[in-house]
Amino acid sequence: MIEIKDETWAGSWPFAPHYYVNNGVQLHYVDEGQGEPTVLVHGDPTWGYLYRQFIPSLARHRRCIVPDHMGMGKSSVPPTPYPYRLQHHIANFEALMLHLDMRDITLVLHDWGGPVGLGFAIRHPARLKRLVLLNTWAFAPWPGGPLPRLLEIIRSERGDKFVLERHGYLEPALQGTTYHVEHLTPTVMEAYRAPFSTPASRLALLCWSRDIPTHISDPSYMVMKQIESGLAQFARTPVLLLWGMRDPVLGAAVLHRWQEVFPQAQTYMVEDASHFVPEDAPERLLAWIETFLAAHP
């Protein structure tokens, strides 16, 4: 049996694994190509595999870094600091970026990757050169309207059994908020399921949904508020907004919020895409990103 660290899922993930240990957490990342860095950060319940179709093209002319958050992908699932909070993920990402001495970074952020990547960026604004946001948020309280039923289940007392024992979250989340569900082939779904094969490996899936700050009393509320307050320092930073308009979680209202925060941003709305826009429209997103990079040397 091939170990997950060596698995390529029928060649769809041909990238050599790299690891960095921060406070006992083994963080996996892809490191392909040379030159100015583009760092692509996933959210929940995915891992770096989300960007598999972006890496080869971007790495032709740049250094392409794709990390996995702790408890996800090929990173380790530490017993502490459970329950994982936003501050812990930011600290891990920050440690990796400083270890690699990343400068002139283009951050590509999706879902929870937004708060994590921007949490790093507000602490190290001089290291950020460009920003690409894909169906994400960095606002407190939660800006996306009522939480979907799936997230409400996870945040309830039933959540532990639903996520850890029944593995009831990942597939409904991916298939329910990908517009072109035909892109989620058996091989793709196998790759997304692989890191979460046992109840003990699903801790991060449980924690992310429970950490969404909807009220000032929530543990990560002030961290998210601090990130939101720090966004103004990127008023002159080139920003690209790529948005799946069929997203029931982070819809048009959240896109408009970003446009208010970053009036200098260039926006492309993808009408036939939902929340997992990198799965729905990878070729279009990649073309827009490469054009954006070339326009802001």
Q: The CATH number of the domain where 291 resides is what?
A: 3.40.50.1820
2 inside domain: no
Domain count, the chain: 1
200 inside domain: yes
The residue written with tokens 């908020």 in the block is 177
4 inside domain: no
How far does Cα 161 stand from its chain's mean position? Answer: 25
Q: What is the pLDDT of residue 145?
A: 80
57 inside domain: yes
86 inside domain: yes
| pTM tops 0.85 | yes
pLDDT along the chain (297 residues), means of 10: 84 97 96 98 98 98 98 96 96 98 98 98 98 98 91 96 97 97 98 96 96 97 98 98 97 98 98 98 98 97
284 inside domain: yes
- What's the pLDDT tens digit per position in 229-259? 999 999 999 999 999 999 999 999 999 999 9
Q: What is the pLDDT of residue 2?
A: 60
176 inside domain: yes
- What's the pLDDT tens digit per position in 118-154? 999 999 999 999 999 999 999 999 998 889 999 999 9
| Residues 139 and 255 sit within 8 Å (Cβ to Cβ) | no
127 inside domain: yes
Kindly state the helix (H) or strand (E) to which residue 191 belongs, with its residue range: helix 186-193
Spatial separation of the C-alpha atoms in residues 23 and 36, rounded to whole Å: 28
Spatial separation of the C-alpha atoms in residues 296 and 84, rounded to whole Å: 36
Q: What is the pLDDT of residue 284?
A: 98
Q: What is the pLDDT of residue 146?
A: 87
Residue 282 sits in which domain range? 14-295
Q: What is the pLDDT of residue 1?
A: 46
Phi and psi torsions of 144, nearest 5°: -95, 20
